């Protein structure tokens, strides 16, 4: 299955992706995670990306398109993949179409997680991520265990550098200006499915799971929520 997860920052894309990969057994390709890993490793790409990410603005298209193109060629993507946070501009979506067409592949579903802005800030500022396995928690909605993470490592839970309230507001603005137009782009291709992102992570997952099961039986999706 070839899936794209789109939605505002903090909508729950990573949270749902972690559940979905267990259900459909395809790799999660998160451009945000890839850029953060490059940053941590101190590579040229990571250092370049850092200045954009810390301001909450998008890393230039050519950088992320190149990253995704390379990643999609890996053999673990043969059964499918889940793109999380890519594409984020119409230019990226068009480039992805070109890459997939060369590979004779195509997107099955674009799942757009819809969450109002006022909910986003509370979700993001309470996020904590396990330093070792990347599992996502929330101080109020899904508190990290006191002693150790479920991966077994000693509890070391990080706050992301771009999760400060002023940066989150900038990320939301960028989302509305540059990423939200993707909804129309994919609606025209009849692959868009809007998912209500309110409720608990399990409730949201259940909506996605039911949609994927139904569309699998019916052999296609729809653009209604
Ligand atoms: P990226 O890492 O992709 O960040 P993002 O899209 O802003 O999304 P987040 O990771 O912040 O949120 P999420 O939707 O995954 O939410 P999560 O599940 O963690 O990108 C970071 C930066 O990298 C960008 O700003 C940009 O600079 C650069 N970048 C990345 N991709 C790029 C691209 N393609 N082009 C250019 N630049 C790019 O959940 C958030 C919190 O809410 C968690 O604490 C979670 O526990 C909680 N939560 C989740 N669901 C629920 C729920 N249903 N109820 C209550 N709490 C919930």
User: Which residues, including other chains, have CB under 8 Å from residue 3's CB and lie 6 or more apart?
Assistant: 20, 24, 26, 80, 81, 82, 83, 107, 108, 109, 110, 111
Verify whether residue 171 is a known catalytic residue.
yes
Classify strands 157-158 and 127-130 as parallel, antiparallel or unpaired: antiparallel
Cβ atoms of 201 and 12 closer than 8 Å: yes
Flag whether the pTM goes above 0.85. Answer: yes
Query: Using a 6 Å cutoff on CB, does residue 31 contact ligand 1?
Result: yes
Closest atom of ligand 1 relative to the 33 alpha carbon: 2
Verify whether residue 131 is a known catalytic residue.
no
Verify whether residue 207 is a known catalytic residue.
no
Verify whether residue 160 is a known catalytic residue.
yes
User: Taking 70 as the threshold, does the pLDDT of residue 177 lie above it?
Assistant: yes
Question: One of 19, 71, 105, 160 is an active-site residue; which one?
Answer: 160
Task: State the alpha helices, DSSP H only, in the chain.
Answer: 13-24, 31-41, 44-55, 61-72, 90-102, 117-125, 165-174, 182-188, 201-218
Window from 45-59, 86-100, 151-165 with minimum mean pLDDT: 151-165
Q: Tell me: the pLDDT tens digits for 95-130? A: 999 999 999 999 999 999 999 999 999 999 999 999
pLDDT band at 218; cut points 50, 70, 90: low
Q: Which of 15, 60, 62 to mutate to test the pocket of ligand 1 (most atoms within 8 A of CB)?
A: 15
pLDDT band at 225; cut points 50, 70, 90: very low
Query: Using a 6 Å cutoff on CB, does residue 127 contact ligand 1?
Result: yes
Q: Tell me: the pLDDT tens digits for 8-29? A: 999 999 999 999 999 999 999 9
Q: Given this model, what pLDDT does residue 217 score?
A: 64
Window from 50-64, 93-107, 155-169, 191-205 with minimum mean pLDDT: 155-169
Nearest to 61 by CA among 41, 43, 86: 86
């Amino acid at each position: 299955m070839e899936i794209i997860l789109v939605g505002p920052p903090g909508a729950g894309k990573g949270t749902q992706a972690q559940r979905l990969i267990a259900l459909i057994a395809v790799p999660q390709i998160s451009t945000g995670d890839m850029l953060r890993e490059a940053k941590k490793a101190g590579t040229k790409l990571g250092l370049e990306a850092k200045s954009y990410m810390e301001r909450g603005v998008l890393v230039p298209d050519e950088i992320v398109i190149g990253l995704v193109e390379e990643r999609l060629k890996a053999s673990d993507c043969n059964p499918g993949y889940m793109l999380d946070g890519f594409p984020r501009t119409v230019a990226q979506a068009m480039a992805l179409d070109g890459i997939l067409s060369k590979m004779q592949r195509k997107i099955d579903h674009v799942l757009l997680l819809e969450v109002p802005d006022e909910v986003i800030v509370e979700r993001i500022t309470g996020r904590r991520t396990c330093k070792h396995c990347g599992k996502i928690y929330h101080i109020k909605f899904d508190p990290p265990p006191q002693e150790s993470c479920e991966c077994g490592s000693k509890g070391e839970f990080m706050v992301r550098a771009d999760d400060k309230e002023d940066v989150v507001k900038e990320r939301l603005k960028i989302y509305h200006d540059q990423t939200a137009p993707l909804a129309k782009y994919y609606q025209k291709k009849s692959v868009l499915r809007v998912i209500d992102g309110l409720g608990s992570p399990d409730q949201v997952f259940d909506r996605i799971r039911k949609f994927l099961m139904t569309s699998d039986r019916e052999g296609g999706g729809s653009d209604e929520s």
